[in-house]
Structure 1
């Protein structure tokens, strides 16, 4: 009989997350774009000119964390921050040409990571994994969701 599958889900998620983050950091150190910055680039690729709060909500980032992330990305020339035309207190984020180039690199890196993550699993198994992971925000809503 083969060994039982470890079902300590919280433990497995935490260990997997830490390993994946370290692996990504080691491979993206030279690119100058972090995983969090890549998330902003991906969101702006779908919705360039999004409000900073919308980007933060999509990434599940606290407003203060999102503000600091945006500041660093503006300083590095990846995005541009402009005031909202209707609400002068709100800010919109736009990709710069450098941000678009970084986005291409991030997409290539993500394809490699996704291939590594799904190696050894069938399409049906990956559908179950994706469905399970997608269910987590609904099971554990953030303060913003309430």
Structure 2
């Protein structure tokens, strides 16, 4: 009975949680004049300055055109800049500008604020256990994605 309940609700609950968290983070980030997606790009660039746009797109699992639009907006705001690669003029490398660092400084408590709200009523020990369990779920799904072969897909089409 419990298994059936998990089967019926697990994926929908995760999807709904993801949607709600994205909406909440977007609303709160807007207080700083930035979107959640732009914030994520800005943080990634800060953590790996000098990264190529193509590397960032891969890291963030985004289509290059989608990332380019986000970077364009961040550049327009003066938060990041593109610099040409010294050895390959086709390559842009990304760097956080002073204004971007200042924005991230002002936003430094927002991640903790969002997390605290989401985990209200959950003890620190429970939160650590939840995070470990979610990491295990993520690893399970990552492994399943990597193990999917053309034969399995054809088998599904044949029997499905």
1:32-82 deviation digits (Å, cap 9, x = unpaired): 111111111221222111101111111111010011111111001110011
Give the distance between the partners of 2:26 and 2:44, measured in 1 at CA: 20
Q: Deviations over 1:98-142 (max 9, x none)?
A: 11112223432111222233341512232112332355444446x
Structure 1 unaligned spans of 5+: 142-146
Q: Distance in 2 between matches of 1:46 and 1:118?
A: 26
Task: Note the aligned Cα RMSD (angstroms).
Answer: 2.2
Task: State the alpha-carbon separation in 1 of the partners of residues 139 and 76 from structure 2.
Answer: 33
Counterpart Cα distance in 1 of 2:38 and 2:22: 13
CA spacing shift, 1:118–1:10, aligned 2, 3 Å: same
Query: In 2, are the aligned partners of 1:118 and 1:126 still within 8 Å (CA)?
Result: no
Partner residue in 2 for 1:128: 133
Query: Larger C-alpha radius of gyration, 1 or 2?
Result: 2
Once the 2 structures are TM-superposed, how far is the Cα of residue 30 of structure 1 from its aligned partner?
2.3
Q: TM-score, normalised by structure 2?
A: 0.75
Match of 1:84 in 2: 85
* Aligned twin of 2:18: 17
| Partner residue in 1 for 2:38 | 37
Runs (5+) with no aligned partner, structure 2: 147-160
2:39 match: secondary structure: helix
Query: What residue in structure 2 maps to residue 144 of structure 1?
Result: none
Residue 119 of structure 2 is aligned to residue 118 of structure 1:
yes
Partners of 1:35 and 1:135 lie apart in 2 by 27
Q: Which moved more, 1:126-135 or 1:15-24?
A: 126-135
Once residues 6 and 64 of structure 1 are traced to their aligned partners in structure 2, the CA distance between those partners, rounded to angstroms, is 37
> 1:70 maps to what in 2?
71
